[in-house]
Amino acid sequence: MHIVFAASECTPWAKTGGLADVVSALPKTLAKMGHKVQTFLPYYRQVAKAVPNAPVVLQSVTIPFPSYNRFARILDGGVKDGVHIYFVDVPELFDRESFYATPSGDYPDNAERFGTFSRAVIEATKVMGVPDLFHVHDWQAAMIVVMLRSIYYFDPVFRRVPAVLTIHNAGYQGWFPPRTMETLLLPWDMFTLDKLEHYDKVNFLKGGIVYADAITTVSRTYAQEIQTPEFGNGLEDTLRRRSADLFGILNGADYSEWAPAIDPYIAAHYSAKKLDGKRECRRDLLHALRLEDVGDETAVIGVVSRFATQKGFDFIVDILDRLMQEDVVLVMLGNGEEYYERLLTEMAERHPEKMRVRVKFDNVMAHKIEAGSDIFLMPSRYEPGGLNQIYSLKYGTVPVVRATGGLQDTIEELPDGGGNGFKFWGYDSNVLLDAIHRALATFRDEKTWTAMMQRGMAQDFSWDKPAEEYVRVYERVIMNRSS
């Protein structure tokens, strides 16, 4: 099978979140299964710095607009783990400091930026080889689906080529003014409530949902959640209408990068059968953060996250002073909303013996926190899939999570420490604190805690099974469109 992936992010070239990890790991697994896989990404400034002299595959792809044309180059990013990477180079649109926005807000021409990217991918495949299927990700690439079923509707080359859309987070949809229909040369009869129109805006993600042959999202629970007003962000009715074609497939973990037995960034390697190295990793983490004289009986709680309300930081802030009264140290890594960056830094200064906050993205420190912590905190208000709780299980770092999305699907709390972690329900910081107290009580029982660690480390959340589920979805839509 020939599969073309299109997305706005992919590790290691461009990353702001879990989307980049999925768009790296899933194609790699599919390629290992014998499929031909190509991935298209925008040639952002950051990508150009990483791959400065990428060979040109197509010198000029014409992208028409109402009163002018844009021209894209297709660059060869090489083959990585069996996947051929291509970059869409339009300097006036992608040679910018950030991927999507400035500190003052989204780039005002994002519709044109990602509309150009989408059409360039379609045009490039006409020359380079039409795939059996397009797999597009989030609103930034959803316009590929819309264009295939409108602008390219009568093109015999694409008429029977299906497209699968994966929703990584329904909270980000790509809303743009009505004139976007004209800008992207889309027919106005698509600007209706049952198609692209949403509160008098053009909604890229909605268009993808309406026109995709299948929609997937990144956990079984999230597939149900986004069909409700609480999590659907206004698209719940559209998603319910497509429920027969909506599949929840849990994200996998890339164990070639996230496994304590081989991790190059941690102080010592270890496994479920030989845990001594984890103690060394704990010492190394505390030393790196200058947390001195922390005894073995003190629980190290780790957080690696975007600092945002969606990630439950309002809960964390609310309980933090009470948590600092427990026998714990808290280490936090990430960045995000300025309010939380500033507040958490101030709180860490109030508790210098028990708390550290690093406001930045630091991949090495992220690995050290996963390996060196005893408990990992993920109190997300919603979490479509989640990867850090899966990494934590592999590193023997017991998760405390809110029961939502992929967190609900991966973490099981059973009486007497029989599960692999701790969960809480509801929008109440007190229930988070109760869950942490349960974790701390179990932590003091070394035998039970060790068994819980080893149980989590033995679980397999690799990409092999999810990739097989995606292949079944691919086969279904290919068959449906060819019949």
On whether both 52 and 177 belong to a single domain, the answer is: yes
Q: Is residue 265 part of a domain?
A: no
On whether both 212 and 296 belong to a single domain, the answer is: no
On whether both 146 and 173 belong to a single domain, the answer is: yes
CA–CA separation, 74 and 36 (whole Å): 19
pLDDT in tens, 364-403: 999 999 999 999 999 999 999 989 999 999 999 999 999 9
On whether both 333 and 382 belong to a single domain, the answer is: yes
pLDDT in tens, 276-299: 999 999 999 999 999 988 999 999
Closest CA to 372 of 456, 252, 288, 248: 288
Residue 417 is predicted with a pLDDT of 78
pLDDT in tens, 257-276: 899 999 999 999 999 999 99
Do residues 148 and 161 touch, judged by C-beta distance below 8 A? yes
Average pLDDT over residues 99-108: 88
Q: Is residue 270 part of a domain?
A: no
On whether both 293 and 364 belong to a single domain, the answer is: yes
Average pLDDT over residues 153-171: 95
CA–CA separation, 394 and 260 (whole Å): 7
Average pLDDT over residues 456-479: 96
The tally of domains found in the chain comes to: 2
Average pLDDT over residues 335-345: 92
CATH number at residue 384: 3.40.50.2000
On whether both 320 and 296 belong to a single domain, the answer is: yes
pLDDT in tens, 205-260: 999 999 999 999 999 999 999 999 999 999 999 999 999 999 999 999 989 889 99
CA–CA separation, 450 and 472 (whole Å): 38
Q: Is the pLDDT of residue 103 over 80?
A: no
Q: Bridge partners of 408?
A: none
Closest CA to 196 of 206, 211, 183: 206
Q: Is residue 245 part of a domain?
A: yes
On whether both 469 and 452 belong to a single domain, the answer is: no
As a whole number, the mean pLDDT across the chain is 95
Label each residue of the chain as H, E or C.
CEEEEECCCECCCECCCHHHHHHHHHHHHHHHCCCEEEEEEECCHHHHHHCCCCCEEEEEEEEECCCCEEEEEEEEEEEECCEEEEEEECHHHHCCCCCCEECCEECCCHHHHHHHHHHHHHHHHHHHCCCCEEEEEHHHHHHHHHHHCCCCCCCCCCCCCCEEEEECCCCCCCEECCCHHHHCCCCHHHCCCCCCEECCEEEHHHHHHHHCCEEEECCHHHHHHCCCHHHHCCCHHHHHHCHHHEEECCCCECCCCCCCCCCCCCCCCCCCCCCHHHHHHHHHHHHHCCCCCCCCCCEEEEEECCECHHHCHHHHHHHHHHHCCCCEEEEEEECECHHHHHHHHHHHHHCCCCEEEEECCCHHHHHHHHHHCCEEEECCCCCCCCCHHHHHHHCCCEEEEECCHHHHHHCCCCHHHCCCCEEECCCCHHHHHHHHHHHHHHHCCHHHHHHHHHHHHHCCCECHHHHHHHHHHHHHHHHHHHC
Q: Is residue 127 part of a domain?
A: yes
Instruction: Give Cα 189 to chain centroid, integer Å.
Output: 33
On whether both 58 and 180 belong to a single domain, the answer is: yes
On whether both 405 and 424 belong to a single domain, the answer is: yes
On whether both 388 and 414 belong to a single domain, the answer is: yes
User: What pTM value is reported for the model?
Assistant: 0.91
Residue 142 is predicted with a pLDDT of 98
Q: Is residue 262 part of a domain?
A: no
CA–CA separation, 41 and 137 (whole Å): 11
Q: How many CB atoms lie within 10 A of CB 28?
A: 19
On whether both 323 and 407 belong to a single domain, the answer is: yes
CA–CA separation, 184 and 182 (whole Å): 5
Task: Note down the domain range covering 422.
Answer: 276-458
Residue 483 is predicted with a pLDDT of 75
On whether both 225 and 292 belong to a single domain, the answer is: no
Q: Is residue 325 part of a domain?
A: yes
Kindly report the backbone phi and psi dihedral angles of residue 372, in degrees, each rounded to the nearest multiple of 5, phi listed first: -95, -10
Q: Is residue 71 part of a domain?
A: yes
Amino acid 197 reads E
Do residues 12 and 24 touch, judged by C-beta distance below 8 A? yes
Q: Is residue 261 part of a domain?
A: no
